[in-house]
Structure 1
């Protein structure tokens, strides 16, 4: 008999006949949450479609969109305020700290050379000392040379082969 009365309630609901208050409240709550999910999904979908119109790698790119051209200031740069821009800034800050740390290590373990008193160290000695600090010594050295903080001969340094190459701290 319990199952029969439940099926009657469901049938009455389908025919828009008055239903128990608890059933109506549960249904309304379900409709509101599904409506909210649908609206959030639609909002995300519209934002994504708009983003794809400006994405040069998307098949959705519209030729009428404003695309930076070579030579413009924002060419090859992420959109301002984007997560990509923030990650780039964070990476730049991190690498700058590592370059400064490398220069401090060279200053501490290096020896003055020449009349100008520039501090220099051989790559092998620096490598053995720096290996406990970071495993990216060569990359950081290349970055420091690009910033004109250090100087050394050659394009790339190899452990063993280039142990006697002198690295000079310019400052």
Structure 2
């Protein structure tokens, strides 16, 4: 094998691999809103399918699905705790005050208010007000809906 053939055999695939990486990266940066490339060729529209969602199969999508599953488990755990420490009201639904729930739940997690907000968003619980604050809202009743 002469020197030129050896060079083509060893260096050419490396060059092609590097060029593919460069091209893929440039294409990725066209879609990256945080890129320094100010003249983005791709403009996203809210009406388009997939707007505001990570690319399929990406690490971002995988992490998002894991987070969704984790939060779902926390909401389920919260509902179980409400069911175990709450009292059945006249309407047959289980109720607990925020103060009582906070005392019990703070030993398990420091994210009670965030999990309460998520549970309410998904129709699992109901309570008055937008946000609950320790001590100020200890009297607010939280109702388990499901």
TM-score band, normalised by shorter chain: 0.7 to 0.9
Which residue of structure 2 aligns with residue 152 of structure 1?
127
The counterpart of 1:130, out of the listed 79, 94, 105, is: 105
1:62 positional shift: 5.8
1 CA distance for matches of 2:41 and 2:56?
21
The aligned counterpart of 2:52 is 76
Partner of 1:46: 23
What is the aligned residue count?
A: 139
Report the CA distance between 1:56 and its aligned residue. 3.1
Instruction: Give TM-score scaled by structure 1 length.
Output: 0.72
Shift of 1:75: 1.1
Asked if 1:120 is matched to 2:98, the reply is no
Q: Deviations 1:48-92 (Å, cap 9, x if unpaired)?
A: 111112223334366654x44112221111111111111111111
Unpaired stretches in structure 1, ≥5 consecutive residues: 1-27
CA-based RMSD? 2.2
| Superposition deviation, residue 123 in structure 1 | 0.5
Counterpart check, 1:93 vs 2:74: no
Q: Return 44-53 or 89-98, whichever deviates more.
A: 44-53
Could you list the runs of 4 or more consecutive aligned residues of structure 1 that deviate by over 6 angstroms after TM superposition? 34-37
The 8 Å contact of residues 30 and 41 in structure 2, kept in 1 or not, is answered as: no
- Contact in 2 for aligned 1:151/1:170 (Cα 8 Å): yes
- CA gap 1:169/1:104 in 2 versus in 1, 3 angstroms: same
8 Å Cα contact 1:52-1:61 kept in structure 2:
no
Which whole-Å CA distance do the structure 1 matches of 2:123 and 2:27 have between them? 43
Q: Is the 8 A contact 1:78 1:85 kept in 2?
A: yes
